[in-house]
Amino acid sequence: MTDPADLRRQRLTGIALMCAAVASFSCLDTTGKYLNHHMSTMEVVWTRYFFAFVLTLFISNPVRQRGLIRTKRPWLQVGRSALLLLSTILNLFALRTLQLDETLAITFSTPLMVALLSVPLLGETVGWRRWTAITVGFFGVLVVTRPGVGNMPPAALLSMCSAVCYAFYVISTRILSRSDSSETTQFYTNLVGALAMTAIVPFYWSRPDDVFIAGLMILIGALGAGGHYLLIRGHRLAPASTLAPFIYTQMIWSATLGFIVFGDIPHRWTIIGGTIVIESGLYLLHRETVRNAGPSTPVA
């Protein structure tokens, strides 16, 4: 039997790793937005994947881990990786004009889309409470983007398309988790992105302005690789239902970094809409927990 004290320590460590992971992702977006002003967005995407792949090889590679590249569903691995790559490209293009907190508020609609897509793609059932949460959550996205009132920037549509791609990416990750290890899936994620962008980047290449910019190019890859590594480690120590709410601490990081680095102050509608989206996502998580608890488990 597992010692309750050890279990509690493991969960607290998992939560700390999750918070560190989302902080890394916020720093990644901040670095990407900054680099957007010094080079093409496609070059920024290349740096994110190429250096993430190279740095990850020091920890996880086919030489040290036999069977790392063995997958039962190679085409799904490639398709999943392509979805994340497309989501990254769209998000970085959106960050050229949107604030960090604006893109993140829209990205937080991903759990709502996953719940929506899980019906036709995974055969899951969604009750009226979850349908209500999904509807309210998408209303929150509309509050952030405010279409039809002359305030919706075109980049918001890019961010929404990025969230859709990411939702399909999450669904495919769920499917792959049944057959492949998380290390294998992560290896293909970086490999496919690095290969695809290395083939494309010569058409967009520009020499870095100085050593500082070159350093940021390496940093963005390290943040991507490190963030996903912390995410995987965190999920090994604590259940996903315990860690999921802490994803939303990323909003604090993004708003803070946006103000410090770019002088961006969160808009009123972003705060209101983002709060609605987050509350809907948390309620969906609660309903998922209740649904998986089973009829014999009391619900508060």
Q: Tokens 């499917």 identify what position?
A: 175
Q: What pLDDT shows up at residue 144?
A: 85
Strand, helix or coil for residue 125 = coil
Which residue pairs from 254-262 have beta carbons closer than 8 angstroms and sit at least 24 positions apart in sequence?
254/26, 254/29, 254/30, 254/100, 254/101, 254/104, 255/100, 255/101, 257/26, 257/27, 257/30, 257/100, 258/30, 258/99, 258/100, 258/101, 261/30, 261/33, 261/34, 262/33, 262/99, 262/100
Average pLDDT over residues 83-108: 93
Question: Which amino acid is it at 117?
Answer: L
Q: What is the mean pLDDT of the chain?
A: 87
In terms of pTM, does the model score above 0.75? yes
Average pLDDT over residues 223-227: 90
